[in-house]
Amino acid sequence: MSHLTPWTKRIICLVILLCLATAATPRLFEFNDNTFSLTPEITGTAKTGNNETRILAAIDDIRSGNMADARATVDALLDEQPNYRLAQLLRADLYAMRAMPLETIGGGVASAPGDALDDLRKEALVRIAHRNEDQATANKLPANIVVFAPNQKYAILVDASTSRLYVFANENGKPKRIKDHYVVVGKLGVDKKFEGDQRSPLGVYFVTSHLTRPQLDKTYGALADLYGVGAWPISYPNELDRSQKRTGYGIWLHGSPAATYARAPQASNGCVVLTNEEMLKVSSYLQPGNTPVIVAPQVEWLSESEWLQRQTAALALLSEWKSKWESLDANTYLNFYGAEFRSAEGQTLDAWRNQKTTVNTGKTWTKIQLSDISIFAAGENSTQLVTTFKQDYRSNNLENQMRKRLYWQRSEQGWKIIWEGAAAI
């Protein structure tokens, strides 16, 4: 080809290249050639139910190797709740598991911050633990709800150990479980003692009011989003908290920020937080000024016969206290009071004893009636009782009516009153 001109050589090379390209092109698009066929992904069936039921079903499917259904369920959840971080984590894991097996939840996003992964794993674990526990406690009653007052339609019970909120209805005086939800408590857990300790309080409280989202927007501006659909303040610090010098304020039941479907089990500054959807459901059972909110370190579950025994014993205790007061026998009456007792006015046990002994010297008879009684239990293993009632007191030289509250503490010496006074709410 030495006699050919440079342009002729270029044209011949171009023709050869075009011929080769033409021959190769059909090979790339021969779909019937097994060398280039792709295996289609199996289409799964999404589980139905509420969001928690579905997230747990997805975890079950992953554990059992049913990845197609797990993917379908997670995808459906995220279509509805795109900010559901636990579902986002499972989706990342499902993609990662196409290439390699994973040993733990979140193994597919190893580059994510460790704290964030730990929080999501904790959320998954407490949801799983609740499901397992729920099967064992479904037919049991909570020791924390002892006696409903007649006008109390519902009670809220928070189990801090399982991040669970229960709604109980007053069914002819007996607590009937009607709803339960995953909740978030304080970043540093429970047993609040002072302002800013990032703990949720333990005890018996009452819903005091309802702060709507428009009210929150007006008061807090952009920060109102922290409370989601609204807030329902509770009565922390209660009478006993104040007598024990516990501080803090602004403890609410409230919803979640718009960008976050659910948070870690311990992520609030002390409030009890639900998803917005579930907060709205719970709100229909809240009566400001009336609905108790009991926050327990761990709920004690009882059989019906055990629960009835507890109720009978608590009512008998209150009745015996009233009877000894009516008897004008100061010594036996004062045996109901503990060494750490404080009255609403701040009196110690010695000051209380002196006052009652002096008052009784001027009495010839006393008659006391108690009505609208409620009794709720708090503390580890239900070691605190909170009794509230309308008291109608009559004697030969005095008559008065009040709504009273007694806080009792169980000790080696039995049940002792540690605070007495007018009920704040």
User: Which are the catalytic amino acids?
Assistant: 254, 271
**Distance between CA 70 and CA 55 in Å, rounded?**
9
The token duo for 24 is 């190769």
Burial class (CB in 10 A: 0-12, 13-18, 19+), 6: exposed
**Distance between CA 286 and CA 283 in Å, rounded?**
5
Placement of tokens 């779909």 in the chain? 31
**Distance between CA 167 and CA 280 in Å, rounded?**
13
**Distance between CA 47 and CA 191 in Å, rounded?**
38
Placement of tokens 């108690």 in the chain? 370
Q: Decide if 228 contacts 172 (C-beta within 8 A).
A: no
Q: Give just the sign of the alpha carbon dihedral 360, 385, 414, 190.
A: negative
Angle at alpha carbon of residue 398, lines to 396 and 404, rounded to 5°: 125
Q: How many other C-beta atoms can be found within 10 angstroms of the C-beta atom of residue 48? A: 10
**Distance between CA 306 and CA 170 in Å, rounded?**
18
Q: Is 407 helix (H, G, I), strand (E, B) or coil?
A: strand
User: How many residues belong to the chain?
Assistant: 425
For residue 378, list its beta bridge partners: 384
The residues, ordered by sequence, that sit 6+ positions from 339 with a Cβ below 8 Å of its Cβ are 349, 416
Residue 287's identity, in one-letter code, is Q
**Distance between CA 228 and CA 42 in Å, rounded?**
38
Q: How many other C-beta atoms can be found within 10 angstroms of the C-beta atom of residue 1? A: 6
**Distance between CA 133 and CA 162 in Å, rounded?**
9
Q: How many other C-beta atoms can be found within 10 angstroms of the C-beta atom of residue 63? A: 9
